[in-house]
Structure 1
């Protein structure tokens, strides 16, 4: 068996993976011969993977794979034709409308080599900086804050700080779901080192439920919280005055404003939505401990005050002298596998390669290195402005690579219309099924994760090799190759790359030139400039800066530990934020409106183009859901399980998008709703949450403020709803609710009608068997369709939600209808459904209930009623079933489920045997 080391395709943790094959070589390897595990030697994960990472091989079986360039008409063409057409259209557009009439929109899914060539092409040769990336949507506020404070986009710490921290603060980060491997490491550190875990989030997330202290602050109050913390640290003489004087600027101006908040903790606590006791408890953690690590993610970044908030966090750690010290400081949790690599090469419209800006000396250096007369002379349009310019007709041609802006950008209906109206749209994708791919004039087949080779950089600045192990099928190509072909067709020199290694060497050489010219810059890959092809192929995970080839393999580097920074003065900058603000309240009726917060699902990734077709990952949340506090449901005249539309609270003329199913959740604040950002038209009739989030942005970072915008929910009265297994016509008339769910062997469709007569609700044929059933008080309509004596489809409908175990139901497809079949089908429908709790093991709520009850009975029998121990039963349950013991992302769900069933068992004893002795109970 041979093994290839690569990197995971998902979040910014940057986990290493080991892919092994039983075949003698890797030429045209059969996917069935492959196994995948975590790389035990990779410093990011030490062999651990999350549920998504464990199923990377399952992601390869895309339902529809793009293998050849395709025109909008559907006609396939050759690459030579495609690249010539793109070159011709781009050249004509620039000649007629100027360089800024074209744009590139990139992705944190691209490899660094792809990113580099794209930026060289646009900023160096097309002379436009209209090159942005979906990293703008998740990381740009952190980037802007670090640039303002440190002088450069540099994360100072590393993952090893987790083990050195006495206190870890997670703010705006549901790390248990979004970065499970890191969260597992945090929990291990707490167990080993008694580390205190604090979670700051309005929602009682899976992460918050496992914290030592959960601060359920008001939405948008994080800026005031940390602004007040700085004043509190100064009031309690906790700041490091020597460090401040020697290594920073601007402290006095910032702290004087901060003290205006800290002098009134009662008022501040009210403003941020906490009690004074909890606020003071949080602040005291910073006073009483020497090493505190604060890590933030989308909850901070995706805000109109995200940059100021992050700088408020950094201000506190600068005041403590924490930056660059073990177990201390600010850490940015990156959302995508190569968001940082993209920033290194200038992937954002607001920067140039190697962390350069648009000053004349920096532009001259880049032009000299790329052998062009000049490069783009000013910042380009960031993502939201870019698509606004597209809608306004100012951008006439756009090339989108590896991302799905029709779903992921705010005001997504406008984005879709802008692409529909744009004269020329190129999309590089692995599947033609994404919402954005539908708008392409030319659709290019990109290589997927298993096919392409290059490098990625994770959250702690570690560069890892991504190594392809599947022979590219059809004519799928690397993105750097596709761009180079177009560049050469446009007559540009400097794109004669013959491998990703040659691209990387040029990028490393550029970093060496930049470091020589601007020695205060931290980013440096000069030690990798002369890698041979074999050395590049063999490159092991290495953390930058890399000044020498001797540094290959280095890890655990902290930046700014000597107090020197990348600013012109060499000192870090305290940043005075805007006046702390709370959520703006538009002119809406509070009793019928709610703050819509966009979040993520545990087992899905972005717009689900990678994960939506994987049965085990779809099982936990098969439909779009919107979570609300139970006490809020009556305001909208809805109940748990109902379907609702979502309407803008400030735009009464807007059309509501298709439905979401209501889930009552005590962990959601009373005036908030939470909905996953993953859903798109590709998987349901709805088009996702972002079509009713407006395009407000942070004024510094230009990052959209996705969090907490007012909407109104309206109930939808369903005449019929249910599930179809087997053959189904997705275009059936009258459907208003339809979600396709991939199963282990097939697909089922969750459907709904607003009219009894619509579609095929009761349309039986000569080859159909229909009947009604009463299951636990619910009237069900069951219809089985047959072909050649075998069941081809099963439809189960009711006036309310139908709960079925979809995998066992789907197993009836293809079987003959006889008395045994009817009996078994009745039994399965009566059995209902038990929710999936653990995606890694497939363990359901019912299985946990059975095991908890068995453990309860065993303890009562052996130890007596007064010696019952829940933790002992939970540990035994997890040991027996394995749930929560693999990636750990479901730990809080497992515990909550177990607690519910444990309490039910206790209540049963108290109710049935209130005066029972131990002997009676046993």
Structure 2
């Protein structure tokens, strides 16, 4: 068996993976012959993976894969025709409307080599900086804050700080779900070193439930919290005055503002939304401990004050003198596997390659290196502005690579219309099924994760080789290759790259030139510019900066350790935040605050994970999580369907459709809906279609968080599930969600008219009957061909809970009396929710095991000696749930506690009865 080391395709942790094959010839490897585990030699994960990472191989078998270039008409063409068409259209558009009439929209899923060639093509040869990336949607506020404070987009710390910290503060980061491997390291540090974990989040998330302290702030109050902390530190004379004087600027102006905020701790606590006691306890952690590590994610970044909030956090560490020190400082948790690699090569419209800006000297250096007369002379349009420009006709040709903006951007309905009306749209994708791919004039087959070769950079600045292990199928090509073909068709020199290694060498050589010209910059790949193809192929995970080849393989490094920063003066900058409000009430209706984010087991717009049965099982439909106290306010019940729409709703405004799930962990007047859903999977589409496109004024990152909306109930006459054959265009369907099962696909459906529901798929060869199932009237329809079941429809006036996999097993069976009896038994059996995606353990299995453990406990004088922790450990040892990637640990614990408490209540009731009788 042979093994290839590569990197995970998901988040910015950058986990290493080991892929092994039983076949000797990798070029003809069959997926069924492969096994995948975490790479125990990789510094990011030491062999651990999350549930999504463990199922990477499942993501390779896509329902529909793009294998050749195709036109919007559906006509397939070859690569020569496709690249000529793109070159001609881009050249004609620029000739008629100028360079800024074209744009590229990229992705943190691309490799660094793809990103580099795309930026060279656009900013160097097309002369436009209209090149942005979906990293704008998740990381740009942290980037802008680090640029303002440190002078450069540099994360000072490393993952090893997790084990060195005395206190870890997570702000707006549900790390247990979004970065499970790192969170397991945090929990291990808590057990081994007594590290305190503090979570700042309005919601009692899975992460907060495992923390030592949860600061449940008012949404949007994290800026006041940390700016107040700076004032608190100053009031208590707990700032490093020598460090501030020697290594920083702007402290005096900033701290005056902060002191004003923190003068009245009771008033500040009220503004933040916590008690004064809690606020003091939190602030004292920074006084009582030297090694405090703060890490933020989308809860901070995806806000119109995200940059200021991040700077407020950084300000506190600068005041303490703890930047670049062991176990302390600010750390940005990155969303995508190569968000940092994309920023290194200038992937954002607001920067040039190697962390350069648009100053004359920087542009001149880049033009000379790329052998062009000039490069783009000013910042381009960031993501939201870019698609606004597509909508109003300023951008007339756009190339989208590896991302799905029709779903992921705010006001996504406007984005869809803009692309539908755009004169020329190119999309590079692995599947034709995404919402964006369906709007392409030219659809190009990109290589998928398992096929492509290059590098990615993770959150701690570690470069990892992405090694393909499956031969590219059909005509799928690397993105850098596709861009190079178009560039050469347009007559541009400098794009005759032989392979990804040659691209990387050029990029590293550019970084050496930049470092030589601007020695204050931290980013440096000089030591990698002379790698041979073989050395590139065997490159070990290496953390930058890399000044010499001897540093290859280095890890665990920190930056700014000596207090010298990448600013013109060498000093870090304190930034005074604006303390702007984040919401604008504008509706007479009862509003809710919308918080969008990720589900535990899914990724982005689900084009990679939505078809994996084990990852879809936990949340099969779009749901809106709502505090139970708010049900009466909106006249809805748990399980009802509702619309989520803008508080300035008009008849033409888009709405999101989802099912209500009560969640006591939310604040009243707050709802949560995951960002994953799209038209590809659901008739109700997704949450982003009604969110407006307000942005942070500094980072230009959209403010997905803390927008207001109105909930309205929808009455369904009939709803249920159809297995087997399905007509997705059936009349009357107002609710439709496709769900992949291990043995096929089912569809969750709903009708406003009962007549439509009964007419759906009815034929001469169908049986329709009704029955009472656990007090609920259920209608069953079975369609047949030659006596074999080809479709089974279950409908009721209320939601029907079914075990989907056993129900789907009836498809293909002979329909007789025995069939109908077994079908009814299965419908009566109901369903048990999935709790652990790694092991497939359900609520019912946990209940059975906890009850078994409970029965083994002893009683004395009518009182039980509760040993819940022991029982929980025994249950997890038996079932394995919550013990693999750990992302479901809090859900497993909560589920176990509920069943344990039920058993306790039952026993208490028994003893009470006996005492009463006595």
Q: What is the TM-score with the length of structure 1 in the denominator?
A: 0.98
Return the offset for 1:589: 3.1
Q: In 1, Cα distance between the equivalents of 2:570 and 2:914?
A: 74
Q: Does 2:851 match 1:853?
A: yes
Provide Cα deviations, 1:534-577, integer angstroms capped at 9, x if missing partner: 00000010000000111011000000001110000001000111
Aligned to 1:43: 43
Q: CA 1:781/1:82 → structure 2, altered by over 3 Å: closer, same or farther?
A: same
**Contact 2:128/2:376 (8 A) holds in 1:** yes
Question: Structure 2 regions of 5+ residues with no counterpart?
Answer: none
Provide Cα deviations, 1:655-693, integer angstroms capped at 9, x if missing partner: 453520000000111011100000000001122101111
Q: In 1, Cα distance between the equivalents of 2:678 and 2:8?
A: 24
Q: CA 1:235/1:832 → structure 2, altered by over 3 Å: closer, same or farther?
A: same
Q: In 1, Cα distance between the equivalents of 2:406 and 2:684?
A: 13
Aligned to 1:732: 730
Aligned-residue Cα RMSD (Å) equals 1.4
Where do 1:459-608 residues align within 5 Å? Answer: 459-578=459-578, 580-589=579-588, 592-608=590-606
Q: Does 2:96 match 1:96?
A: yes
**Contact 1:838/1:844 (8 A) holds in 2:** yes
Aligned to 1:757: 755
Q: In 1, Cα distance between the equivalents of 2:885 and 2:684?
A: 31
**Contact 2:124/2:374 (8 A) holds in 1:** yes
Aligned to 1:283: 283
Aligned to 1:376: 376
Return the offset for 1:464: 0.1
Aligned to 1:329: 329
**Contact 2:750/2:757 (8 A) holds in 1:** no
* Corresponding residue SS for 1:912: helix
Q: CA 1:222/1:499 → structure 2, altered by over 3 Å: closer, same or farther?
A: same
Q: In 2, Cα distance between the equivalents of 1:508 and 1:183?
A: 33
Given the alignment, which residue of 708, 716, 719 partners 1:721? 719
Q: In 1, Cα distance between the equivalents of 2:668 and 2:588?
A: 15
Aligned to 2:778: 780
Aligned to 1:875: 873
Larger deviation, residues 333-342 vs 411-420: 411-420
Aligned to 1:674: 672
Q: Does 2:613 match 1:615?
A: yes
Q: In 1, Cα distance between the equivalents of 2:583 and 2:136?
A: 23
* Corresponding residue SS for 2:801: coil
Return the offset for 1:243: 0.8
Provide Cα deviations, 1:217-267, integer angstroms capped at 9, x if missing partner: 111111100000000011112111111111111111111110011111100
**Contact 1:102/1:398 (8 A) holds in 2:** yes
Q: In 2, Cα distance between the equivalents of 1:763 and 1:373?
A: 65
Q: In 1, Cα distance between the equivalents of 2:696 and 2:469?
A: 41
Q: In 1, Cα distance between the equivalents of 2:417 and 2:351?
A: 28
Aligned to 1:339: 339
Aligned to 2:179: 179
Where do 1:778-857 residues align within 5 Å? Answer: 778-857=776-855
Q: In 2, Cα distance between the equivalents of 1:862 and 1:878?
A: 27
**Contact 2:656/2:687 (8 A) holds in 1:** no
Aligned to 1:911: 909
Q: In 2, Cα distance between the equivalents of 1:331 and 1:864?
A: 52
* Corresponding residue SS for 2:631: helix
Q: In 1, Cα distance between the equivalents of 2:453 and 2:661?
A: 42
Q: In 1, Cα distance between the equivalents of 2:45 and 2:31?
A: 24
Return the offset for 1:860: 2.9
Q: In 1, Cα distance between the equivalents of 2:861 and 2:82?
A: 75
**Contact 1:640/1:664 (8 A) holds in 2:** yes
The aligned length equals 917
Aligned to 1:23: 23
* Corresponding residue SS for 1:113: helix
Question: Structure 1 regions of 5+ residues with no counterpart?
Answer: none
Q: In 1, Cα distance between the equivalents of 2:555 and 2:757?
A: 61
Q: CA 1:428/1:116 → structure 2, altered by over 3 Å: closer, same or farther?
A: same
**Contact 2:656/2:689 (8 A) holds in 1:** no
Q: In 2, Cα distance between the equivalents of 1:891 and 1:381?
A: 42
Return the offset for 1:819: 3.0
Aligned to 2:293: 293
Q: In 2, Cα distance between the equivalents of 1:700 and 1:819?
A: 68
Q: CA 1:656/1:716 → structure 2, altered by over 3 Å: closer, same or farther?
A: farther
Q: CA 1:678/1:291 → structure 2, altered by over 3 Å: closer, same or farther?
A: same
Where do 1:106-255 residues align within 5 Å? Answer: 106-255=106-255
* Corresponding residue SS for 1:773: strand
* Corresponding residue SS for 1:887: coil
Aligned to 1:78: 78
Q: In 1, Cα distance between the equivalents of 2:777 and 2:401?
A: 49
Where do 1:289-438 residues align within 5 Å? Answer: 289-438=289-438
Q: In 2, Cα distance between the equivalents of 1:861 and 1:816?
A: 53
Where do 1:428-467 residues align within 5 Å? Answer: 428-467=428-467
Return the offset for 1:24: 1.4
Q: In 1, Cα distance between the equivalents of 2:324 and 2:592?
A: 41
Q: In 2, Cα distance between the equivalents of 1:266 and 1:561?
A: 36
Q: What is the TM-score with the length of structure 2 in the denominator?
A: 0.99
**Contact 1:742/1:748 (8 A) holds in 2:** yes
Given the alignment, which residue of 740, 765, 768 partners 1:767? 765
Provide Cα deviations, 1:734-760, integer angstroms capped at 9, x if missing partner: 100000000001000000000011155
* Corresponding residue SS for 2:645: strand
**Contact 1:648/1:654 (8 A) holds in 2:** no
Provide Cα deviations, 1:4-41, integer angstroms capped at 9, x if missing partner: 00000000000000000000120210110000000000
**Contact 2:657/2:685 (8 A) holds in 1:** no
Provide Cα deviations, 1:403-450, integer angstroms capped at 9, x if missing partner: 000000001111111101110000000000000011100000000000
